[in-house]
A = this chain, B = another copy of it.
Amino acid sequence: MSEPAGELDRTFHALADPNRRAILSVVRNKRCAVGEIADMLGLSQQIVSHHLKVLRAAGLVTGARSGTRHLFVVRVEGLAVGKGFFEDFWPERLSALKRAVESSARSSDG
């Protein structure tokens, strides 16, 4: 694993909440203000602000001023940390399964 442990802790902790995952879905493809996210999800602005703070600390969203508004959007590099965990984890396990299937196919041939 190339990412420091703390980064994966924060990534997975941030993703372990349905409201935070819903917020990520909202800001996946477009920049949104807190109020827009709150309206779209039927949550209070206070709750959305709290979750955005956790998501920002985990590097999963980024915020920037646009005129007088503060807009949030998914941070792809942050999501890549979590995605990378599964990609690092996967190939060996699949190889092991493949070996197991092949070896059991050989046993039933014999």
Q: Enumerate chain A interface residues (CB-CB to B < 8 A).
A: 1, 5, 8-13, 15-18, 21, 24-25, 28-29, 74, 76, 79, 82-83, 85-86, 89-90, 92-93, 96-97
Contacts and interface: CB of A to CB of B under 8 A. Distances in A.
A96 B28 CA distance: 9
Chain A contact residues: over half helix, strand or loop, or mixed?
helix
Given A16-B16, A82-B86, A89-B24, A96 B9 contact: no
Contacts of A15: 8, 12, 85
Contacts of A25: 89
Contact of A9 (B16, B28, B83, B92): B16
B79 A89 contact: yes
